[in-house]
């Protein structure tokens, strides 16, 4: 069982040599520009700053997470007063994804240590258009050109290869070689977003984005990867915001993404309770606590669709400031394989997100406020 688990973990981490992992946050709306460029500038205020950090699979290593992904973005919502409530958005986002692998050959004949560090810098452009006079129905479009720098370092040398049974085959040496340690490439994404508030207590929304439009060549190894181009990544997301009582809001939602033959779905519900809602000198002061439960399911190439993890979430929103925390509890095959292995714990992930919106020189008219999805 130990051999099988190490083999599973080996493929999970080092299989990303050819292509970096697609960034996917459990709190995907806490990083709006990496989710959908159409959300650029779509908020009530002049400027917005978002930051999120994800540590993933720290249960496989007692010292640190295997994946560490911080992201930060800043965007501006411009010209709402000059365009009758429509808005132009412009922003910048930076994402760093560090993947660290340190493992032992179960046969005792070798070790492997290495790190893949990927940094993407993107320019985000968005435009929101009101579709009716009441300004309760809006559509947004967004474009995102980006540049990515990938640096591979460490010793990726494996004296044996795994066979189809996820066992070491001493007669089959691993001959992978690095073609180049560093690589820089250009990419492109676009997105659409629609929201409608037909009645005061209900808002529904739906978004779509397409990533890796440029299909850049990302391979850094020589063998078994003659192409190495990123596959198109399609993302569909949506949800509802429903006021069910004076102080309560329910926010069910979903996200689905597909690349090549791999699929993933994230769905759940968040409840918000207003602990404070008052007006001081004409300024609204509102504080809300959020608690949610979400689930992630999916399949990789050639595998069956399976339950992956359950994610409790908690958040606090006060006026223009918000802080959120999520914790992924693994429930899939990797959790089952890790359970009987001494010194290996159920792999987990956690996220911490912070957001702040700065007001502009003029107060925003209530009818010109832009809907901003929260969970």
* 56, part of any domain: yes
- Residue 63 — pLDDT band, cuts 50, 70, 90? low
* 196, part of any domain: yes
Q: How far apart are CA 295 and CA 233, in angstroms?
A: 20
- Residue 106 — pLDDT band, cuts 50, 70, 90? very low
Least confident piece of the model among 2-16, 170-184, 208-222, 320-334: 2-16
pLDDT above 70 (res 151): yes
Region 48-52: mean pLDDT is 97
pLDDT of residue 4: 40
Q: Which of 248, 221, 252, 256 is nearest to 239 (CA)?
A: 252
Which one is predicted more confidently, 370 or 105? 370
* 366, part of any domain: no
Least confident piece of the model among 102-116, 220-234, 326-340: 102-116
* 184, part of any domain: yes
Region 149-153: mean pLDDT is 85
Region 70-95: mean pLDDT is 94
Which one is predicted more confidently, 230 or 92? 92
Q: Which of 144, 146, 95 is nearest to 118 (CA)?
A: 95
CATH number for the domain including 214? 2.40.160.40
pLDDT above 60 (res 249): yes
Number of C-beta neighbours around residue 155 at 10 A:
10
Least confident piece of the model among 42-56, 162-176, 213-227, 307-321: 162-176
Q: Please state, rounded to an integer, the average pLDDT across all residues of the chain.
A: 81
Q: How far apart are CA 13 and CA 15, in angstroms?
A: 6
Q: How far apart are CA 76 and CA 42, in angstroms?
A: 9
* 369, part of any domain: no
* 178, part of any domain: yes
Cβ-contact 324, 317 below 8 angstroms: no
Which one is predicted more confidently, 119 or 11? 119
Reduced 3-state DSSP string for 274-330: EEEEEEECCEEEEEEEEEEEEEEEEECCCCCCEEEEEEEEEEEEECCEEEEEEEEEE
pLDDT of residue 129: 96
* 375, part of any domain: no
Q: In this predicted model, what pLDDT tens digit does every residue of 161-205 receive, in sequence order? A: 555 555 545 555 554 556 677 889 999 999 999 999 999 999 999
Domains contained in the chain, number: 1
Cβ-contact 260, 301 below 8 angstroms: yes
pLDDT of residue 3: 43
Region 43-71: mean pLDDT is 82
What predicted TM-score, i.e. pTM, was given to this entire model?
A: 0.83
Structural tokens at position 238: 């949506």
Region 298-303: mean pLDDT is 70
* 364, part of any domain: no
Q: Which of 266, 252, 130, 237 is nearest to 202 (CA)?
A: 252
Region 23-36: mean pLDDT is 91
Which one is predicted more confidently, 308 or 26? 26
Domain that holds residue 19: 2-359
């Amino acid at each position: 069982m130990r051999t099988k688990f190490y083999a599973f973990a080996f493929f999970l981490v080092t299989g990303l040599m050819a292509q970096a992992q697609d960034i996917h946050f459990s709190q995907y709306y806490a990083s709006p520009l990496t989710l959908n460029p159409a959300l650029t500038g779509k908020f009530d205020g002049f400027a917005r700053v978002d930051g999120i950090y994800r540590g993933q699979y720290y249960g496989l290593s007692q010292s640190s997470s295997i994946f560490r992904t911080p992201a930060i973005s800043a965007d501006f919502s411009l010209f709402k007063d000059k365009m009758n409530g429509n808005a132009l958005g412009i922003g910048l986002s930076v994402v760093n994804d560090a993947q660290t692998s340190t493992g032992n050959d179960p046969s005792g004949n070798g070790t492997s240590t290495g790190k893949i560090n990927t940094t993407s810098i993107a320019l985000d452009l968005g435009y929101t258009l009101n579709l009716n006079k009441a300004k309760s129905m809006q559509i947004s479009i967004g474009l995102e050109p980006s540049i990515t720098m990938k640096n591979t370092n460490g010793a990726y040398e494996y004296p044996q290869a795994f066979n189809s049974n996820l066992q070491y085959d001493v007669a089959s040496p691993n001959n992978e070689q690095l073609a180049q340690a560093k690589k820089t490439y250009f990419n492109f994404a676009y997105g659409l977003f629609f929201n409608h508030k037909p009645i005061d207590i209900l808002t529904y929304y739906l978004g779509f984005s397409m990533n890796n439009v440029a299909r850049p060549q990302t391979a850094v190894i020589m063998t078994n990867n003659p192409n190495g181009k990123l596959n198109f990544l399609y993302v569909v997301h949506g949800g509802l915001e429903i006021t069910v009582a004076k102080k309560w809001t329910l926010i069910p939602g979903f996200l689905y993404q597909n690349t090549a033959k791999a699929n993933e779905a994230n769905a759940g519900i968040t409840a918000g309770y207003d602990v404070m809602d008052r007006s001081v000198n004409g300024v609204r002061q509102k504080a809300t606590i959020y608690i949610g439960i979400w689930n992630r399911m999916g399949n990789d190439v050639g595998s069956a669709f399976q339950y992956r993890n359950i994610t409790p979430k908690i958040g606090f929103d006060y006026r223009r400031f918000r802080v959120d925390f999520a914790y992924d509890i693994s429930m899939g095959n990797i959790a089952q394989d890790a359970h009987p292995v001494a010194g290996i714990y159920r792999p987990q992930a956690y996220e911490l997100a912070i957001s702040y919106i700065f007001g502009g020189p003029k107060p925003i008219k209530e009818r010109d406020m832009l809907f901003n999805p929260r969970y």
